[in-house]
Amino acid sequence: MPTNAPLDRKLRMGLIGGGQGSFIGRVHATAAVLDNRAALVAGALSSDPAKAKASAPDYDIPADRAYTSYQEMAAAEAKRADKVDFVSVATPNHTHFEIAKTFAEAGFNVVCDKPLTFDLAQAEELLKVVEKTGVVFAVTHNYTGYPLVRQAREMIQAGELGEINAIRSNYIQGWLRTRLESSDQKQAKWRTDPKQSGAAGCFGDIGTHAYNLGRYMTGLLPTELSCSLKVFEEGRALDDYGTALIRYENGALGSVTASQISHGRENDLFIEIDGTKAALEWHQEEPNKLIVRKNGDPHKIYTRAGGPYIGTLSGSSSRLPSGHPEAFFEAFANVYTATYDAIVKRAGGQKVESVNTVYPNVYDGVEGMLFITKCVESSKANGGWLPFRHPKSRK
Amino acid sequence: MPTNAPLDRKLRMGLIGGGQGSFIGRVHATAAVLDNRAALVAGALSSDPAKAKASAPDYDIPADRAYTSYQEMAAAEAKRADKVDFVSVATPNHTHFEIAKTFAEAGFNVVCDKPLTFDLAQAEELLKVVEKTGVVFAVTHNYTGYPLVRQAREMIQAGELGEINAIRSNYIQGWLRTRLESSDQKQAKWRTDPKQSGAAGCFGDIGTHAYNLGRYMTGLLPTELSCSLKVFEEGRALDDYGTALIRYENGALGSVTASQISHGRENDLFIEIDGTKAALEWHQEEPNKLIVRKNGDPHKIYTRAGGPYIGTLSGSSSRLPSGHPEAFFEAFANVYTATYDAIVKRAGGQKVESVNTVYPNVYDGVEGMLFITKCVESSKANGGWLPFRHPKSRK
Amino acid sequence: MPTNAPLDRKLRMGLIGGGQGSFIGRVHATAAVLDNRAALVAGALSSDPAKAKASAPDYDIPADRAYTSYQEMAAAEAKRADKVDFVSVATPNHTHFEIAKTFAEAGFNVVCDKPLTFDLAQAEELLKVVEKTGVVFAVTHNYTGYPLVRQAREMIQAGELGEINAIRSNYIQGWLRTRLESSDQKQAKWRTDPKQSGAAGCFGDIGTHAYNLGRYMTGLLPTELSCSLKVFEEGRALDDYGTALIRYENGALGSVTASQISHGRENDLFIEIDGTKAALEWHQEEPNKLIVRKNGDPHKIYTRAGGPYIGTLSGSSSRLPSGHPEAFFEAFANVYTATYDAIVKRAGGQKVESVNTVYPNVYDGVEGMLFITKCVESSKANGGWLPFRHPKSRK
Amino acid sequence: MPTNAPLDRKLRMGLIGGGQGSFIGRVHATAAVLDNRAALVAGALSSDPAKAKASAPDYDIPADRAYTSYQEMAAAEAKRADKVDFVSVATPNHTHFEIAKTFAEAGFNVVCDKPLTFDLAQAEELLKVVEKTGVVFAVTHNYTGYPLVRQAREMIQAGELGEINAIRSNYIQGWLRTRLESSDQKQAKWRTDPKQSGAAGCFGDIGTHAYNLGRYMTGLLPTELSCSLKVFEEGRALDDYGTALIRYENGALGSVTASQISHGRENDLFIEIDGTKAALEWHQEEPNKLIVRKNGDPHKIYTRAGGPYIGTLSGSSSRLPSGHPEAFFEAFANVYTATYDAIVKRAGGQKVESVNTVYPNVYDGVEGMLFITKCVESSKANGGWLPFRHPKSRK
């Protein structure tokens, strides 16, 4: 069982968003406590005060810590001796910035949904705050939490694939095949609304995940980007399909294809990576398998916790023996676990790494915003190549 | 979010077993609280008193409810106003009976690992206690908790497969390919020891799951059984491989094949069911897919939460949208959820069903023990057919 | 290109059966000439003389060698200087014996469909003829022709799987889910008619293939057999479902399950073999993959012609590079190719092996008939174990 | 059995290329006669006269029709009463033009390997010859011959997918991961040599197939193209990786990704097509399955010859029942079969269609050359969009 030693207690979590009817808030709340290292003790669960109050019992949040606004919460918690150790921000995109900034400035660690902010300017400003305050800041690119995604990262870092030449990352969904946003479907509504979602639709929602996955696995630094976005559902305000090409510093070529209009495709994030020594392939919908190939050898299927060939990080990211499938919640929880390690370390007065962390961090968040921004810009410029590299991005 | 209404609080859980080094205890503890309908508040976590005490903090069990024996716990809890609503028994097989009986007699609801008891006589006796006291009694044939297993059950009950002719259920593992029990591997040690495991090894541990899965999906009542068990690892005291054939009342023929000696096979429980109108296939290692076939039609892959074709029970057994995979923990939690519904109902003074429940019940547990007993007996009689039907088994 | 050296010409093939409306005759004719080592030059294509004549042009058989009966053909061909080198028997089961015997006695090599004969007595008599005359005699257990089936055989013979403990062979179809034989469906009609098919239906048609596949891969010699056959379609005269268990000399346990009533299952022959050192799995419907597993290693997928790990026999059984799928026809042709090697050798005056050949031989055919006979007998005796071993079977 | 009625004989085939050591020549020879509608009777099998002669017996070509050059063959065959009906051109790319032009001008029908010619100018010139002479001209984009590729085409033409929005076509191989051309590997040598292969390497060899597959299935007419080609193996003269985006007239967006440097990938051509009503997916390495998806429905797997849902063209492109896999040779043969239908029609004096044929025709060949040309041009222009539409391309 993981512990929080030397910190001799569970971490105290605050939740922003997650009120009744929310989906992702519940996912955060479930994943964050899966390993019993944290307890949810406070929340500003809705921007509607009544709903904020009414939702608290669902999470066992006591009435006195069920705040009616994040501002109130930040102020009140700051004064408590048993203040929350971190807050999780599970609200629509356009509100991330104010919330995250408020808490970071008050010294709270933050776990924030992706995309990091509404636009790039906000992201840059938030980054400054985080750098200044030194808080632990995680962005829930949750797919990085899958044990075999981490296995891929370990293998690539160890050079098992050789030099990386190509990354093909795809995130294919079908749920926005119709104008679902015309109905009252809450998830569809805000995701297709430029005022809440930001400059991109499909590429902001899932294209960023696909890009991040390749970045996380390979550590390759990008240099340029070209993108073609499409709106296939007539009348929709934001892209629902697109392809970006990415050039990396080492000469590799990447592609990101994302779709929300592919009939019957559920949540099909998959990636293929070609190296000079070997290649690999992973599919989010079958997360317990990683395919590794090498010319002349049989194709190999690595399984989660499958044997001594599994790396340290991947191995420590599993809770169950191989063949007992783990899935979405556990991967989400793994992002939290890695974040907790950093929070505990910081609580002990140690300096924590903020780049190249096991959990996706604020720099990844900023890079994601840069990705979205450049994709939209390139697409408007008929797919012209644009410089794409944040000065602070690290391998 | 599911609630315990009209009961206006979380259920209080007690855990027997699960001390440091345990695997399945932690699974119970995690699954039982996944939906926040219960909290673990008391436990007798080990038969070793020091370990029992030391393990309590891992589960947030307060010291005063960290008992050093299940007897102590039963006595103490019985006196409390806030006594536990149920206990989960996650100890080796040979101890199930005494523990479960003790708590059931004291009026506590019980969630018990499978196989139900050490031998059939114990199972019959325990059944009497449960019938007399009317407690809710669940047996964690956890694979029944998978949403698509329940989908299969709903489809078959609704007649979508027609009359069932054949069930082929397989549970193939490889981890006992060597004499792992010669080392200090705790899981291997007790499972291959007749004094702790009972009359069967592989068939007690996993053969029962495979049999139960077909029973759960189809509801068919068996009449006769023939079995051939084998020990392939020299010197092992219990079977590590075998095949049973089952004749069902309606003329159907079933088979159960279980193995612990198949290299590289992890936890490969899979089942195929043939009906006069359609056939289906499900694999535990890819639990989010159910294959349904009908002559002349394309093969169909039903996915968890995949659309309106998903039945009520299956639908309510999902927490995430399709394509966001759920797995072992969630299935385990689903067994708890169904049990909670019954516990809440009983707490409200209502009579609860004890046969044909959504959760596997004490009758399923008894039938499992009968299965084991008859398999061993038939195998000793060179695979001769033996009557196989518990008088209280219901569809 | 394979040649027939030192024989400096193509082999001359005669075909019995295959008249208009036939399925398997056309398969023989196509497969036999795929590699251009043989030409079809004579035939008795139907028992109906007019149809026999009319069908000849479809196969480019000249009119003077389009015989109206196999007897006429055997007599006429025997007198020719350019007589056929072999005949392929592609007629219903109940006619195999007389035809094969007639040609073998006349010194012709024979390629005969399976099952070898109508009953065991015929098979034994035919065996004597073949032994006496020394003709090359192949039985088209065509699935043995798949390159990866041969790969499995090579690996097992080389000891890569260690001692074999278990064989699970399944052949699952659905096309006889209804009483298709009540219609004019020719394939269904004779296969379900005891007068044409023999003592078994499903087990004669496909159960034998499944049994033979395990025998071919492992070379294990059987000792005993137990079988349960079922008729699920009311009014059908022969079994359409069943399971047999087989005990092998070395202590291994095998199972053969065959079905013709599993909705939507097309031609799903698949096998799993467990050895002490490794295990493997192969599916006829995806014949270009062979899965090999070993505890602690990643699962390995061997592909046809996939690399240096492919054995000599398997490698020489491929015509195309890996990834360019080969399938049913090519496997069928491979059985012919191996038979041709023997025919050419015999034509050169050399003695040819008759047991343990690359192609399934007359002993395999006899063992197949013994399998059918014993399965029916055991099933009638309520699944009792019967001795199952032909005195002439060899590894 | 298909016949050539009203033409009362087999078609006479001539083969250019295919001498000893050739791969694709043998594939042509095998596929062309698979259904017994044609016989190979003449050839100019090598540009080396001695080899041309020596190779003839392998194909049963009589010595007097084993020509030492294609020019000789064209002249000699033109004078014969029993002249060949068509020639198959199976030589390296840079020789296609002269050969095909010579035969077409002499009035012979032609089956030509892809890419059609060495460069676009040749293709345009060849097109004029074909249009003038009216010969049947097929280009072996052999993957169009798979029954389920044709099923996809039929479904899309019938509107079952609705309006097509997106095509993602990929052709991933790994065999040129090293500088194989530095060794004596013949296949690698000419494919990576700009003098024999043309302006593109990977994109000429396989990118064209991937592009053509989407065109064949959807019939969408392209308008613009953007492409990024890469050389990952240092010192290689031609691209071994790349991605092209294609804009179609109806607003759809397509992508073609081709690789020869992806470790362990064999011949992985796969395609996904999104329509407003449904989507589909097909993989060449598992050609007997076609996945069809529609929001809210189970995923459907169509199988070759799998039932009444199979269309007319797809159904008539199968030789075996479902579950008896067909593969590469049969698909190749299907291209021939469709070509034969046209040749027979023309031989009967009827006018034959030359656009939108079941077999890929000369217009497809020209479009393929245009694709290659524009891909190279766009890539040199940093992926700028270029007009991409041949004036004679038809749906």
CATH assignment of the domain containing D25: 3.40.50.720
Of A177, A232, A264, the CB nearest to D297: A264
pLDDT tier at A23 (50, 70, 90 boundaries)?
A: confident
Instruction: Answer yes or no: is B343 within a domain.
Output: no
* Closest chain B C-alpha to D278 CA, distance in angstroms: 15
* Closest chain D C-alpha to B290 CA, distance in angstroms: 9
| Predicted local distance difference test score (pLDDT) of residue C2 | 54
Instruction: Answer yes or no: is C169 within a domain.
Output: yes
Reference B373, options B117, B190, B164; nearest CA is B117
| Predicted local distance difference test score (pLDDT) of residue B142 | 97
Is residue D2 scored above 60 in pLDDT?
no
Q: Are residues A172 and A186 in the same domain?
A: yes
Query: How many domains does the structure of chain D reveal?
Result: 2
Q: Which residues of A touch B325 (CB under 8 A)?
A: 284-287, 325, 327-328
Of C265, C274, C384, the CB nearest to B279: C265
Q: Which residues of A touch C303 (CB under 8 A)?
A: 298-299
* Closest chain B C-alpha to A326 CA, distance in angstroms: 5
Q: Are residues B168 and B308 in the same domain?
A: yes
Q: Are residues D124 and D69 in the same domain?
A: yes
* Model pLDDT for residues D150-159, shown as the tens digit of each residue: 999 999 999 9
Chains near A with 3+ CB pairs less than 8 A apart are B, C, D
Q: Are residues D52 and D198 in the same domain?
A: no
- Mean pLDDT of all residues in D282-301: 98
Q: Do B295 and C226 touch (CB under 8 A)?
A: no
Distance, in Å, from the CA atom of D129 to the CA atom of B356, rounded to the nearest integer, reads 77
Q: How many CB atoms lie within 10 A of CB D393?
A: 16
DSSP letters of C133-189?
Answer: H---EEE--GGGGSHHHHHHHHHHHTTTT-SEEEEEEEEE--TTSS-GGGTT-HHHH
Query: From chain D, which residues contact C within 8 Å (Cβ)?
Result: 1, 10, 23, 26-27, 30, 34, 36, 58-60, 173, 175, 265-268, 284-288, 303, 306, 319-330
Closest residue in C to A306 (Cα) is C296
Q: Which residues of A touch C309 (CB under 8 A)?
A: 296-298
Q: Which residues of C touch A298 (CB under 8 A)?
A: 292, 300-303, 306-307, 309
CA-based torsion, D377, D381, D382, D384: positive or negative? negative
Tokens representing B68 are: 């050093």
Three-state secondary-structure class, residue A79: helix
* Closest chain B C-alpha to A139 CA, distance in angstroms: 19
Of C10, C173, C320, the CB nearest to D328: C320
Q: Which of C160, C273, C274, C277 to mutate to test binding with chain B, by most B CBs within 10 Å of its CB?
A: C274
A90 strand-pairing partners? A17
Cα-Cα end-to-end distance for chain D: 31
Q: Are residues A159 and A43 in the same domain?
A: no
Q: Are residues B68 and B162 in the same domain?
A: no
Q: Are residues D185 and D316 in the same domain?
A: yes
Last residue of a domain, one of A143, A175, A196: A143
* Model pLDDT for residues A145-162, shown as the tens digit of each residue: 999 999 999 999 999 999
Is residue B53 scored above 70 in pLDDT?
yes
**Hey, what amino acid is at C204?**
G
At a CB cut-off of 8 Å and minimum separation 6, what does C211 contact? C169, C244, C246, C256, C368, C371
DSSP letters of C62-83?
Answer: -GGGB-SSHHHHHHHHHH-TT-
Are the CB atoms for C146 and C267 separated by under 8 Å? no
Instruction: Answer yes or no: is B205 within a domain.
Output: yes
* Closest chain D C-alpha to A167 CA, distance in angstroms: 10
Pick the range with the lowest mean pLDDT from A281-295, C367-381, D16-30: D16-30
Q: Do B301 and D300 touch (CB under 8 A)?
A: yes
Tokens representing A246 are: 């990415």
Q: Which of C301, C303, C304 to mutate to test binding with chain A, by most A CBs within 10 Å of its CB?
A: C301
Is residue C22 scored above 90 in pLDDT?
no
* Closest chain B C-alpha to A321 CA, distance in angstroms: 8
In terms of DSSP bridges, do strands C289-293 and A289-293 run parallel, antiparallel, or are they unpaired?
Answer: unpaired
Could you give the residue ranges of the DSSP H alpha helices within B169-263? 186-191, 194-197, 202, 208-218
- Mean pLDDT of all residues in D136-154: 98
Is residue B2 scored above 70 in pLDDT?
no
Q: Which residues of D touch C319 (CB under 8 A)?
A: 26, 30, 329
Q: Do D306 and C266 touch (CB under 8 A)?
A: yes
- Mean pLDDT of all residues in D33-53: 96
* Model pLDDT for residues C237-256, shown as the tens digit of each residue: 999 999 999 999 999 999 99
Is residue D31 scored above 80 in pLDDT?
yes
Distance, in Å, from the CA atom of C298 to the CA atom of A155, rounded to the nearest integer, reads 14
Q: Which of A148, A299, A309, A314 to mutate to test binding with chain C, by most C CBs within 10 Å of its CB?
A: A299
Are the CB atoms for C225 and C245 separated by under 8 Å? yes
Q: Do C285 and D321 touch (CB under 8 A)?
A: no
Q: Which residues of C touch D30 (CB under 8 A)?
A: 34, 319
pLDDT tier at A1 (50, 70, 90 boundaries)?
A: very low
CATH number at residue B197: 3.30.360.10
Instruction: Answer yes or no: is A347 within a domain.
Output: no
What average pLDDT is seen over chain D? 96
Distances (CA, A) of C236 to A60, A121, C178, C190, C201: 64, 77, 10, 12, 10
Secondary structure of chain D in HEC code, one letter for each residue: CCCCCCCCCCEEEEEEECCCCCCHHHHHHHHHCCCCCEEEEEEECCCCHHHHHHHHHHHCCCHHHECCCHHHHHHHHHHCCCCCCEEEEECCHHHHHHHHHHHHHCCCEEEECCCCCCCHHHHHHHHHHHHHHCCCEEECCHHHHCHHHHHHHHHHHCCCCCCEEEEEEEEECCCCCCCHHHCCCHHHHHHCCHHHHCCCCHHHHHHHHHHHHHHHHHCCCEEEEEEEEECCCCCCCCCCEEEEEEEECCCCEEEEEEECCCCCCCCEEEEEEEECCCEEEEECCCCCEEEEECCCCCEEEEECCCCCCCCHHHHCCCCCCCCCCCCHHHHHHHHHHHHHHHHHHHHCCCCCCCCCCCCCEHHHHHHHHHHHHHHHHHHHCCCCCEECCCCCCCC
Distances (CA, A) of B273 to B161, C176, C272: 9, 16, 19
Stated pTM of the model: 0.97
Instruction: Answer yes or no: is B338 within a domain.
Output: no
Of D166, D232, D383, the CB nearest to A165: D232
Distance, in Å, from the CA atom of C143 to the CA atom of C331, rounded to the nearest integer, reads 7
Instruction: Answer yes or no: is B191 within a domain.
Output: yes
Q: Are residues C101 and C160 in the same domain?
A: no
Measured in degrees and rounded to the nearest 5, phi and psi for residue B311 equal: -75, 170
Tokens representing C93 are: 């089961």
Is residue A287 scored above 70 in pLDDT?
yes
DSSP at B66: B
Instruction: Answer yes or no: is D135 within a domain.
Output: yes
* Closest chain D C-alpha to B196 CA, distance in angstroms: 45
Query: From chain B, which residues contact A within 8 Å (Cβ)?
Result: 1, 10, 23, 26-27, 30, 34, 36, 58-60, 173, 265-268, 284-288, 303, 306, 319-330
Pick the range with the lowest mean pLDDT from A6-15, A25-34, A289-298, D182-191: D182-191
Q: Which residues of C touch D60 (CB under 8 A)?
A: 10, 36
Q: Do B323 and A286 touch (CB under 8 A)?
A: no
Of D10, D36, D267, the CB nearest to C324: D267
Q: Do A295 and D175 touch (CB under 8 A)?
A: yes
Measured in degrees and rounded to the nearest 5, phi and psi for residue B196 equal: -105, -30
Reference A230, options A249, A206, A248, A203; nearest CA is A203
Q: Are residues C26 and C117 in the same domain?
A: yes
User: When comparing pLDDT for D102 and B356, which is higher?
Assistant: D102
Segments forming the whole domain that contains residue C38: 11-143+354-360
- Mean pLDDT of all residues in C142-155: 98
- Mean pLDDT of all residues in B285-314: 98
CA-based torsion, A265, A266, A268, A269: positive or negative? positive
Q: Which residues of C touch A288 (CB under 8 A)?
A: none
Q: Are residues C149 and C292 in the same domain?
A: yes
Is residue C1 scored above 50 in pLDDT?
no
Q: Do B300 and D301 touch (CB under 8 A)?
A: yes
Of B264, B265, B277, the CB nearest to C297: B264
- The DSSP H or E segment spanning B256 is strand B253-259
Q: Are residues C15 and C83 in the same domain?
A: yes
Q: Are residues B34 and B111 in the same domain?
A: yes
| Predicted local distance difference test score (pLDDT) of residue C393 | 86
Distance, in Å, from the CA atom of D209 to the CA atom of D144, rounded to the nearest integer, reads 9
* Model pLDDT for residues B63-86, shown as the tens digit of each residue: 999 999 999 999 999 999 999 999
- Mean pLDDT of all residues in C128-154: 98
Are the CB atoms for B262 and B243 separated by under 8 Å? no
Q: Do D322 and C30 touch (CB under 8 A)?
A: no
At a CB cut-off of 8 Å and minimum separation 6, what does C96 contact? C89, C112, C113, C115, C116, C117, C118, C122
pLDDT tier at B110 (50, 70, 90 boundaries)?
A: very high
Q: Which of C15, C41, C149, C266 to mutate to test binding with chain D, by most D CBs within 10 Å of its CB?
A: C266
Are the CB atoms for D68 and D52 separated by under 8 Å? yes
* Closest chain A C-alpha to D274 CA, distance in angstroms: 5
Distances (CA, A) of A263 to C156, C225, D177: 45, 50, 35
Of A295, A296, A301, the CB nearest to C298: A301
Distance, in Å, from the CA atom of C252 to the CA atom of C223, rounded to the nearest integer, reads 10
Tokens representing B308 are: 């309106």
* Model pLDDT for residues C295-343, shown as the tens digit of each residue: 999 999 999 999 999 999 999 999 999 999 999 999 999 999 999 999 9
Is residue D1 scored above 60 in pLDDT?
no
pLDDT tier at C47 (50, 70, 90 boundaries)?
A: very high
Instruction: Answer yes or no: is B315 within a domain.
Output: yes
> Looking up tokens 């340290």, which residue turns up?
A312
Tokens representing B45 are: 């976590």
